[in-house]
A and B are shown apart, each in its own frame.
Chain A
Amino acid sequence: MSTKLKLLETAVARLEQDPDSMASVLKKYGESENLSAAELVSYFDCSEETYCKLALCRVLNVEAADFPKKLNTLSEYTGISAALLNEVIKKVHLIAQFSRVSGKRFSVAARDKKNEAGDDRQE
């Protein structure tokens, strides 16, 4: 493996914990689809170096008005199809929103249950 690729891979591994990075988006997408990094490389039909090039980018804001423009810029920069990038970014965004909502519901339900138990004791 080349020096360049080794450096890029170690940088991507570090950025996987950073929610603002595409490295973290790709990791979450891989987990949701049960795909390894190597399988994602085939999925994007690109080289390992291009995969790292993408992973080192900052994640795009799906809700921003200029999202389509930035998606095209990212696609041009990496040479990966904009449709594929759109699918990956939006799916991970949805997963994040879903877990946020279900997390809230869970805590509301837990609080209600606790309150009910408290009421029962008072009675």
Chain B
Amino acid sequence: MKATLLEIDLHNAIRQQDELALSKLYFMYGEQIVSLLKYLFQEAAAKDEADIYQAVNDAFLGYYRNPDTFNPKLGSLLAFLRVAAKRDMLNIISGQKKHLSREKLPPNVELQENFWNRITESDYCTDAAIITEETLEQIDKLFRRHFRTDMDIALAKMIISGERKTELYSEVLGMEGLGIEEQTASVRKHKDRIKQVLKRHNVEAEIKKLIP
């Protein structure tokens, strides 16, 4: 999906250093992207919400200061910012992990910070990442059109991806406590139900159409 006219206007305003542009950007997409990160990084959000805000600010201010990293012909601004914010959140988490692992080192061990042991993350949102993000979003929308609950969507995704292990389906269905025979029977029943919906709406073919 390409950038909308509203996004193109805002992008041009940012490039021309319009006085209101950054403020408009925050009001247009700020809340939406914070909610997405809170959903994707639930554990990190529960630990310290400030990291989520930092990641969103890094993404927005990074784009604001280097607007040419976004190409409106290749994708939407929303998808670009979502990818950038997720990348910045992953960088924050990896930075924290690195810091924690350093703290655990015995005092006489010297960690040599050089090119070879430095973890580097790309500073750019690749076009491929944006396209993948948008395709996944469209596939998710497709599933939501046919299934009402997150559990059914998870089961449908497992069936489409060819998953066969009963214990994994049981886990999704929350039936780990039941006996094996009972689990197998129930999993089969749920799988049949989901497969019927997938077949009736030709979901697999629809997904293939969405993949570029």
Q: Mark A residues whose CB is within 8 Å of B.
A: 3-4, 6-8, 10-11, 14, 53-54, 56-60, 70, 73-74, 77
Contacts and interface: CB of A to CB of B under 8 A. Distances in A.
A8 B20 contact: no
Given A3-B35, A6-B49, A7-B34, A57 B56 contact: no
B35 A7 contact: no
Contacts, number: 54
Contact of B31 (A7, A54, A57): A7
Shortest 9 CB-CB distances between A and B: which pairs?
A: A56-B23, A10-B53, A58-B19, A4-B31, A7-B30, A57-B23, A57-B19, A3-B34, A56-B22
15 contacts: A3-B35, A3-B38, A4-B30, A6-B53, A7-B26, A7-B57, A8-B30, A10-B54, A11-B26, A11-B30, A14-B57, A53-B27, A57-B23, A73-B19, A73-B20
B60 interface: yes
Interface of B: 17-23, 26-27, 30-31, 34-35, 38, 49-50, 53-54, 56-57, 60-61
B53 A58 contact: no
Main secondary structure of the interface of A (DSSP, over half): helix
B22 A57 contact: yes
A64 B12 CA distance: 21
A97 B38 CA distance: 44
Nearest to B58: A14
Contacts of B21: 58
A3 B31 contact: yes
B74 to A, nearest CB: 26
Contacts of B26: 7-8, 11, 56
